[in-house]
Structure 1
């Protein structure tokens, strides 16, 4: 059981933070991280009540989307300050929620951290980041608990991204789910994406990469290893479009088929032996 002193510290930081009203984001962030530190030091178990307190703290962080419609005549300094402020807000909230996720992973039931906390962080990164990082957004959404929100975020991104980024974002999301062995949510996300795209009368991306993802989902449902290997070969150019995709596909092979990764050093050593044998 946590000590009385530890619990006292935890409640002190909880009450103090809520009264601070985040007069300054950085100060509020430091206090928020201290709150999580109190949870860790007190070995406070992760439960719905504490997660709800963290959610209330999270909602106190300012949510001010970075303006994207600055005119040419606008002051450059104003834009610079706006971007700097956005980065500060993002880093402050990110530090707090990352610490909270780490605490929940250590003292909760989910080894990846509480899904609700991952969803909060994914939403904040997407809405507040001046430099969109969909890989990081997706990383937290796939560990979260709001698949529909994830789909909505992806559809929103598709409506404003550069050509060729939409299918990569979709593929990344599906592959991330699959790399964790989560075929059900991967399939559900694809269905939800198509449903939302149709409802908004948008066009779903058509590319070899999307074709690979659709065939991959069908292949994993049937647990067909030869077909899986054939897909990797046929769609290698599409997989190579994103450096991280090859790693994710290797993770999928290991999760679903027990295929061990090849050690590049072993391959190198084997090649050296072959050369040595040929020279003798």
Structure 2
């Protein structure tokens, strides 16, 4: 149960959450009910400092007011009110077209960390925050914000969502440490190789060779159940090791033989060949999937080998080819 609403530094309090707030009486220039302060009422006659600041394009003041108010509400257990103010912080960022900075990303991540993990408001907040952080580029959000979100979710032991955000960050080392904890606390001993294999393949699907290499090296060095390598006892780990070397070389013939030789290991997860189809397109010049009498990964590889020799140079496929779902 939420406690009594606190008083904002710049405005006297009212105990109702913003969504149900009533406008308070004005006694002086700084005397507004908390309901008025938190309201997003678009009325030009509103006494809300938020509305006044926004109408005057004083976005910094509006944002700082809402941010400090949100933190105050969180500290008093007022989740609903804090979430409403947090959304107004984002609104001020969107309307002001503010440049993305580390400070702003850290503020958004702090708000995210204080929200109830099970609240629908948190889902809406993170979706909107990531969209803003992309700067209209159409990408999936700023890598630094993804990293901060991943760290918060890791602390909450929400490993699946943490892994998703690590994939869209540049923190391969952090991802590896999280995966070690995930594997040792939730996985089977027989699956230690699969945790990192999936991450490496997904990083490569996102054209992030550097993080793919870092997550593999760190994970295999830090996991208590993996013996020193390479080479490794687990065939799947050897495949990933060879794959990373092949990506650097860009030779399609090497990639083809590698995938053929390790098919027994690759059949452990039906998604592996899907990822490898995409990796083949990105790094080895394999054409996108098309109807073929062969079908599947090896069919694509054979079609490529029988095609033009220029594919051997491993040019990247167009960026608009269909992405794979990385869930």
- Please give the TM-score of this superposition, normalised by the length of structure 2: 0.62
Q: Which residue of 2 aligns with 1:16?
A: 69
- How well do the aligned residues superpose, as a CA RMSD in angstroms? 3.1
Is 2:73–2:81's contact at 8 Å kept on the other side of the alignment? no
Shift, 1:59, TM fit: 4.1
Counterparts of 1:7 and 1:266, CA distance in 2: 61
Whether the 8 Å CA contact 1:26–1:88 is kept in 2: the answer is no
Aligned to 1:233: 260
Does residue 138 (structure 1) correspond to residue 163 (structure 2)? The answer is yes
Cα distance in 2 for partners of 1:46, 1:168 equals: 36
Gaps of 5+ in 2: 1-53, 296-327
Across the two proteins, how many residue pairs are aligned to each other? 235
Partner of residue 79 from structure 2, selected from 16, 20, 25: 25
Q: How does 1:119-134 map to 2 (within 5 A)?
A: 119-128=147-156, 132-133=159-160
SS at match of 1:159: helix
Q: CA deviation at 1:94?
A: 4.2
Query: Partners in 2 of 1:123 and 1:167 — Cα distance?
Result: 23
Q: Match for 1:35 among 89, 106, 118?
A: 89
Correspondence for 2:24: none
Which of 38, 60, 75 matches 2:114? 60
Larger RCO (CA within 8 A; separation ≥ 6): 1
Compared CA separation, residues 28 and 239, structure 1 to 2 (3 A): farther
Distance of 1:137 and 1:238 partners within structure 2: 26
* 1:162 is aligned to 2:188: yes
Would you say 1:211 and 2:238 are equivalent positions? yes
Distance 1:258 1:26, change over 3 A: farther
C-alpha distance in structure 1 between counterparts of 2:59 and 2:225, whole Å: 53
Q: What is the distance in 2 between the residues matched to 1:102 and 1:223?
A: 34
What are the residue-to-residue correspondences of 1:1-280 with 2, within 5 Å?
A: 4-21=57-74, 23-61=77-115, 88=118, 92-107=121-136, 111-128=139-156, 132-133=159-160, 136-160=161-185, 161-197=187-223, 201-204=224-227, 206-264=233-291
Where structure 1 has 5 or more consecutive residues not aligned to the other structure, the ranges are 63-86, 269-280
Q: Under a length normalisation based on structure 1, what TM-score does the superposition of the two structures give?
A: 0.71
State the shift of 1:186 in Å.
1.5
Structure with higher helix content: 1
Partner of 1:77: none
How far is the alpha carbon of 1:257 from its aligned partner? 1.9
